[in-house]
Amino acid sequence: MVDNYTGKTRERPYLKAVQKLRHAGLRPTRQRLALAKLLFDGPNRHVTAESLHEESARANINVALATVYNSLHQFTDAGLLREVVVSPGQTYFDTNVSDHYHYFLEKEGCLEDIPEGLVGIDRLPEEPAGKKFSRIDIIIHVTENS
Amino acid sequence: MVDNYTGKTRERPYLKAVQKLRHAGLRPTRQRLALAKLLFDGPNRHVTAESLHEESARANINVALATVYNSLHQFTDAGLLREVVVSPGQTYFDTNVSDHYHYFLEKEGCLEDIPEGLVGIDRLPEEPAGKKFSRIDIIIHVTENS
DNA sequence: ATAGTTGCAAAAGTTTTGCATTGTA
DNA sequence: TACAATGCAAAACTTTTGCAACTAT
């Protein structure tokens, strides 16, 4: 793609996203690139399918909600995102895929990472023979004080 | 209600459920009594709205699925049940309302209580001023070993 | 009687699927 | 050109709501 004004290539701004998708084995299509740019350019984020879809619309990116869902799940399967379920109909996707836990702020209805080291687990059950613990989710629900 | 054969009252089998509902401030209606009996007569259970609805149908209890949802939420608000969300579209209700955590068995798609004392938390963040931690959810996902 | 409560059909959300279209080799 | 992958409309689920019918006082 060549910029109409400068004549220079405009691939650069998408380079990181392209490489990230390629590396994950996902074709860097127009829709996926746009979503990846929103998700991964900048600090860690917590989005829902709906919120990302709205954000895309605001940025004049035309993507169906179903495509947002599909892309989020593809990104998750590829290890680029982590899925966090808070309550029925509130599935978040977290760009921080390292081991960590979450606050859920009931009033604001949003997720926040708990900084590393603030929660300590000093005892866990044994993994039963032939099984393993694939994942440990901890969500601390935070409410306003009565 | 009087038994056709013995002429004796048949309230007795529902007494516990009636009292439980009354104490929770819920009118002991036919539907709620039937669901309460399924839920609270016997050992602790983990049900979904759908599973409880099927169970009711099998027991020849006529309840709409919406009523099952409403009743489960009323029971939950009254403190008789605890809601546990595992993944989108998988909301369980647990008759064990004490503080405890859960295994989620991915293969079977079912929840199990983690026996008390097996998980130890030795460090927690401070509650921010004016806020409190209303609840701490821990779910350990258990998968078959590769 | 009647004020408040309840149960459920219908509506509203949320998520997934099937297939025409597109993109790649 | 053929083959696989993609994007999205439509379908499928899950959950909530509004109101007619019912209940307890």
Q: Chunk chain A into consecutive blocks of 10 residues (it has 146) and report each block's average pLDDT, rounded to whole numbers.
A: 42 67 88 93 93 93 94 94 89 94 91 94 94 94 87
Of A117, A135, A118, nearest in space to A127 by CA: A135
Instruction: Give the number of other CB atoms < 10 A from CB of residue B83.
Output: 17
CA distance B106 to chain A (A): 9
Our measurement of CA A115 to C1' D20, in angstroms, reads: 52
Give, in words, the CATH class of B15-142.
mainly alpha
State the Cα–Cα distance between residues A51 and B107, nearest whole angstrom.
31
Q: What's the pTM value of the predicted model, to 2 decimals?
A: 0.86
Q: Does B133 touch chain A (CB under 8 A)?
A: yes
Tell me: pLDDT of B5 over 50.
no
Instruction: Tell me what pLDDT residue A19 has.
Output: 82
Which amino acid appears at position B58 of this protein?
R
- Please classify residue B76 by burial: count the beta carbons closer than 10 Å to its beta carbon, then call 0-12 exposed, 13-18 middle and 19+ buried: middle
Q: Which of A123, A127, A146 to mutate to test the interface with B (most CBs of B within 10 A)?
A: A123
Name the more confident of B17 and B74.
B74
Of A83, A93, A96, A80, nearest in space to A43 by CA: A96
Q: What is the mean pLDDT of residues B119-123?
A: 93
Instruction: Tell me what pLDDT residue B9 has.
Output: 44
Instruction: Give the number of other CB atoms < 10 A from CB of residue A139.
Output: 21
CB of residue B63 closer than 7 A to nucleic acid strand C?
A: yes
Least confident of A116-125, B11-20, B29-38, B78-87: B11-20
Tell me: pLDDT of B97 over 90.
yes
Cβ-Cβ contacts under 8 Å, A130 against chain B: 144-145
Which residues sit opposite A136 in a β-bridge?
Answer: B140
